[in-house]
Amino acid sequence: MSVQVAVILFWQSTKEGTEIAEWLAKQGFTAFVLQYRVPKKQEGALMDIQRAIRLIRKDANIYGLKSNKLGVIGFSAGGSLSARAATHDAKKSYSPIDKTDSLSCRPDFVLLIYPAYLDQGTNRTLTPELIVNQNTPPMFIFATADDTHSNSALVMTKALRDAKVPVEMHLLAKGGHGYGLRSGNNAGEIWPKLAETWLKNIIRDK
């Protein structure tokens, strides 16, 4: 069932990159791994994801995919970049290179797994640059209460709910941060099952 593309963002690790891509492939999804610019290169990272989405959208027919079923999944800091991609599609982060840059860079859906740095606003509210509105794509969010970054999941969920954007959020009691798909961690074993169900439902609805 290769009808969907996932652009996998990773923080210089296989745990949140190639391992996730392999898991997605086993579920019948087509996956791309993006190694974006880090660290402390926010603008460059946004350029990377926007260009990647456009390139994949341009070649969707070549890959046997549908151009309106292109999503992103991000972990930790990659979750922050995924959220920026979802809320900055109107921002021209770089000068057009070719005709590909006339295509939309808006992801059609987003998965944020233990996202970080989304609560940089006053009193740990949503980061001001993340403007959530009715054009923001639907999201799946997963985190654990004992993760020091879990407030990011909470504030993003609230913003999406307030904007009436479809969101499914799961918050487990324990699991920490950075578990990926690794066995032995309850959170790491639970989120893939929930995400797979959500993905198949979101694809069916499009």
Would residue 168 be called left, alpha or beta, if left means φ above 0 and alpha means ψ between -120 and 50 degrees?
A: beta
Give, for 169, the enclosing helix (H) or strand (E).
strand 167-172
Which residue do the tokens 């990272």 mark? 45
Secondary structure string (H, E, C) spanning 81-112: HHHHHHHCCCCCCCCCCCHHHHCCCCCCEEEE
Report the alpha-carbon distance of residue 43 to residue 202 in Å, rounded: 29
Q: Tens of pLDDT along the chain (206 residues)?
A: 444 555 565 455 677 888 898 899 898 899 999 988 877 788 999 999 999 999 999 999 998 888 899 999 999 999 999 999 999 998 889 999 999 999 999 999 999 999 999 999 999 999 999 999 999 999 999 999 999 999 999 999 999 999 999 999 999 999 999 999 988 899 999 999 999 999 988 877 65
Cα angle at 157 between 153 and 191, to 5 degrees? 55
* Number of compact structural domains in the chain: 1
Taken in order 178, 37, 138, 155, the sign of the CA dihedral is positive
The CATH number of the domain where 110 resides is what? 3.40.50.1820
Q: Residue 127 has what pLDDT?
A: 98
Report the alpha-carbon distance of residue 133 to residue 179 in Å, rounded: 31
DSSP label of 137: P
Q: Residue 5 has what pLDDT?
A: 54
Q: Look up residue 30 and give its two tokens.
A: 């087509």
Full residue range of the structural domain in which residue 12 is found: 5-205
Give me the torsion for CA of 34, 37, 40, 42, rounded to 10°: -70
